Each structure stands twice: as C-alpha cells, then as structure tokens.
Amino acid sequence: MWVSQLLSSLLLFQWLRELVLSGSGQEWPKPESVDFPILASLTPTLLEPAPALAAMVVPNLDHLKCSPPDSRSWAHVFVNASRAFANVRCLCLYGANDRSPSPTTRVVDTKAVCLAFPSVRHVELPASELFAFF
C-alpha cells in the first residue's frame, strides 16, 4: 500500500512546472535519473547544487535561478550540464557578489556557463561578474 502511495506522489512531481529546492543538496541519485518532463522554472537554493542539477532531466526548462556554493566556482556547479540546460532562455546567477575569483577561475567559470546555456537570451548576474564574459 505505501509503495503505491509513494509512486503516486513521485508521479505528481513529474507534472511540476516550477520547483524551488532548499537544503544541503548532497544526496541525489545518479546523474540524469530524475525526470521533470514539463518543469519550466527551477530555483535550487542548495548549499551544494551540482549533484541536484546533474541528476535532473529537464528538457523544457526555460528559467534557472542559481547561486554557487560557498568557495565554489560556476564551473563546479555546471560541470556536468553540457546538454541538460540546452533550452534555458532565462538565467539568473546570484550570490556571487562576495566571490573574488582569480582571472583563471573567471575564464573557466565563464566558459562553463556559456557551454551549459547555449540558448540563453536573458541573463541576470552581479555587475562584478559582467566583464568576465567579454
């Protein structure tokens, strides 16, 4: 009985259009194992967002709002996101105001963001991060 209730509740999650996650973010299943077929907006406010982002299959995701974990780079967050976020059009990167990455880290971060979001058309980010993209 409880198994069918669990499966029913999990199936309901597949019909989410918007999802906000909070917490540590450490314990996620293997990459590309959690399917959100119609999810359009995702806001992971996780201490460690990389495992959650790697686990999700989000073919219709249009809007992603994300912050890097403390002392981690954007490249760390999006390391396995080469095709996972190909349809994201609106990207909000926040919480990076107090980071002071080296020039090399900025280049690696910028490349990781550009590769992870090839279809982005709207970006929100701290002004201090802007010039890394030029």
In a domain, 102, yes or no: yes
Tell me, yes or no, whether 11 lies in a domain: no
| pLDDT on residue 122 | 95
Q: Is residue 69 part of a domain?
A: yes
User: How confident is the prediction for the chain on average, in pLDDT?
Assistant: 80
- Which residues have C-beta within 8 Å of that of residue 111, sequence separation ≥ 6? 75
**Average of per-residue pLDDT across 120-126:** 89
Closest Cα partner for 60 from 8, 125, 119? 119
> What is the rounded distance in angstroms from the CA atom of residue 130 to the CA atom of residue 62?
21
Task: Indicate the pTM of the whole model.
Answer: 0.81
State the pLDDT at residue 49: 87
Domain count, the chain: 1
Q: Is residue 104 a part of any domain in this protein?
A: yes
